Amino acid sequence: MFRILNKNKNKKKINLYILILVIFIFPVSYTYAALSCSITTQSACSPGIVMLRMSNSTNAHSELPSQSTSIYNNNVVCCTGVTGLSNSCANTNKQIFARLSGVTNAHVEINSQSNPNYTQNACLSSTYAGDQITVGYQTSNCTGYDTTLFSTGNPLTNSQVGIPTAYNNKVCAKIVSQSLSFNITHNSAGFGLLTTGGLRYATSDGLGSNSETEAYAMNASTNASSGYTIYVSGSTLSNGIYSIDAIGGTNLTPTPGTKAFGLRAVASGGLGAVVSPYDGAGFAYNATGTTMSTIAGESSGNGVNTNYSVRTVATIDSVLNYGSYSTNLTYVIVPNY
């Protein structure tokens, strides 16, 4: 009597599907646009933002943009070019570019005075928390900045003002809008047929491999001042009520013949780094469908791209139900400000 063996015994077809989701905690500008300022009339400034009002093109007194004295209507510092630009000193993200002796008919001083003489602030601000605003004072020109706001007769305080060419002392400004880039090389990967006899690694073609290999890669960069953080979430591989156990929060190599699913990543380029427990030679997975796990990040905001090569592993035990097991993984990238 002969017994016919099932060649597919203890083999399960498992597919891993990856969903990529990018979330920005703060609004992020995707292209750099330089700040541009000029002297024009109040009516011609729209839709620009008035930063300061002057009584003349030279030898002039100053007025805050909130005022409306008619003699100041013909020489306003009008700025454009940056989304979220504002003159509000109430914004958290702001730089004072001048202090005025009054709200109108005022002399000005620069913002770096250790003992300010004046209390009325003129501000360059942004509604976007991550934008980097820089104000400076230079002689002759505003090299290194985006634009010249105006010029002053005196370099420090008690100064009248004028158009950028009126005086040698220049008031300069620059805004660097934050950018964040993120992409993934493939939106799905598969293990192919799993057995109890060894570990199986997902590949982008869905066939799987018996040797560790890259399943997909993520690329990320930002110029946000404190970098970015990448999170992952999603349930472990499952088929209805049956599932393959996630490895958990300890980096280890699973034992063939057990139920296990995990991933790890390897960083190259830039200053990004994979974080524990995903940075070891083994594998881990401690996220769920409702909780995120930090997988990687970068803290300097140097704008250089980092590639994260993601590898995923799975193995099964002899009692797991046959079927197709799958999951959706969601990756979330957040700029750090």
User: What's the pLDDT band for 33 if we cut at 50, 70, 90?
Assistant: low
For 158, the enclosing helix (H) or strand (E) is none
Euclidean distance between CA atoms 131 and 121, whole angstroms = 20
- Mean pLDDT for 305-317 is 95
Mean of all residue pLDDT scores within the chain = 88
Note the pLDDT of residue 28.
Answer: 38
| Apex 95 CA angle, 92 and 100, nearest 5 | 115
Q: Is there a contact between 177 and 33 (Cβ–Cβ < 8 Å)?
A: yes
**DSSP labels, 47-84:** TSEEEEEESSSSSB-EE-TT---GGGTTSEEEEESSTT
Note the pLDDT of residue 226.
Answer: 85
- For β-strands 328-335 and 306-315, DSSP reports them as unpaired
User: What's the pLDDT band for 27 if we cut at 50, 70, 90?
Assistant: very low
> Length of the chain in residues, anyone?
337
- Picking from 10, 327, 323, the residue whose alpha carbon sits closest to that of residue 195 is 10
Euclidean distance between CA atoms 151 and 97, whole angstroms = 12
| pLDDT exceeds 80 at position 184 | yes
